[in-house]
Structure 1
Amino acid sequence: MKVVSLLENTSTRSDMRTEHGLSLYIETGKHKILFDMGQSDAFAANADTLGVDLRAVGLAVLSHGHYDHGGGLAAFLERNSSAPVYLSRYAFEPHYHGEGRYIGLNPALRGSAQLHFTEGETRLGEGLTLCDCNQNTRERPLDSCGLQMAQRGSFGSNQSDGSAQPAPQMAQPEDSPERNPGGSPQGDLAAGSQGIPDGCACTLVPEDFRHEQYLLVEEHSRRVLFSGCSHKGILEIVRWFRPDVLVGGFHFSGLPLDDTLAGYAAALDGYPTEYYTCHCTGSAQFQFMQQYMKRLHYLSCGQTVGI
């Protein structure tokens, strides 16, 4: 199996475009897969530079409904008009940063015929399984990470095709200077506010990440798991899947370099898993965790690894 980092926050190559986001190209003996698409068309430009033909991709997966993983969706659809794109039925729900900044997907893309909405466990083909783990038992409480969502019941997809509710307004990136008019964390949002459909008054509540899903690739008796941001908790995710290899972000960026993080690293190292991390793990956190983990590697933009 070959994994190519098309887009990540960092790169050691001067010919790569970087941004806060993630996009991976996965090639097995039977499949060519695009996993996430960054926040712009940068992943596509890098794919051209790296010799990855996006037109040959057989299927794509969107790990969750945040702009830094799905902002490049339009760019992919422009380049590949046949590959199905698998995303959670909840991916187009309005998602916000703690100060009311909209960080969701572009709702104008919601009606694309290439989108296939998923829930629970979905078999994509031989050796390919998508799981959202929403019904799995947790050992640790879920941390909303300061992120929010429009209150369930006020807005949400309640049909399997994800099209039950009207689409919200155009998504704005997390670093947009715009703010939700009149909105405040865990406060009321008026109809027509950023990301909220007309005629729908909503309330911001802590994010539950029900839109996040994980791709399990099984080949040659090995289990390789791909996780975009691991919002549901990297320790929980590793316990649920017990993969031979895990590729993805740990969502540790910003955490203090202290005994708590050291404990997380030691717990991860207790599994026989090989880790290729990136994106939201954080560079300082990665370097700190290397002291406690024997099989931890960083996958930056432009790198290729054989698994």
Structure 2
Amino acid sequence: MQRLKHGLLQAAGWLFYLSLLMGLAAALPTSIFDSQSKNFIFLIGAVGIWRYSMGITHFVRGMIFLYIVYPHLRRKVRKLGSAADPSHVFLMVTSFRIDALTTAQVYSSVIREAIECGLPTTVVCSLVEMSDELLVKSMWAKANPPDRVKLDFVRIPGTGKRDGLAYGFRAISRHMPDDRAVVAVIDGDTVLNEGVVAKTVPWFQLFDNVGGLTTNEFCEVRGGYIMSEWHKLRFAQRHINMCSMALSKRVLTMTGRMSVFRAKVVTDPEFIADVESDSLNHWRLGTFRFLTGDDKSSWFS
């Protein structure tokens, strides 16, 4: 009943928005929509004003969050001290057919963070191939972590990232984490910066209603200069937009590269089902099961 009500409210909102646009279009002279008319330039100008005003708005909001709001909140988190520490940290990594060099860099950073964060930590490896498992075991033995740091392997059939996440979440649920435990979901191509775990996990004690948070990303492009610069620009724009939306305390997606959730969220059966088997029902073509986009499904959950 609640979903039906939500759907009807959304439909009503879209109908109102479309009606407003159609009414505005009907009120304009027809020459505005004629490409041969000199008035056509006003239509292009209106689209340009809307486009760039949105960009300017996001930039201003992003700077406000990045340089005013976030530093203020960070000081509040630091004042909490050890009282903000979670009871347990789970670092879950999903890997499938990623080159050995990248895999080694990723797990080296994950194991390092598990050791240096100073908290009870379990590294959950959601793997397909035995070669990856042997590589991780070798690195684990070399790092020789303390007893508070554990290693847990989850073998998956290689049917997609969504299945890998679902298997990993169920493995974490078997540990029966309490309400103060947190889970970091990390992609198999993501190298963690030093101290990122210690910086992210205390936020859940500052905000009781936060179910998850996402992180900033930097890209390392092994290619030409143009492609490298394009990716850097794309990630910078993403960061500004994320900061803008964070000013409203809600982002549009929980990035798959590294996001942190409360353990009670990712161990919820409904959340796992949403991530594992999200789909789109089309009136004519039937049901489409999503193979990617798990970061969007988790947001809707």
| TM range, smaller chain | under 0.3
Structure with more strand by fraction:
1
Structure with more helix by fraction:
2
- Give TM-score scaled by structure 1 length: 0.26
- Give TM-score scaled by structure 2 length: 0.26
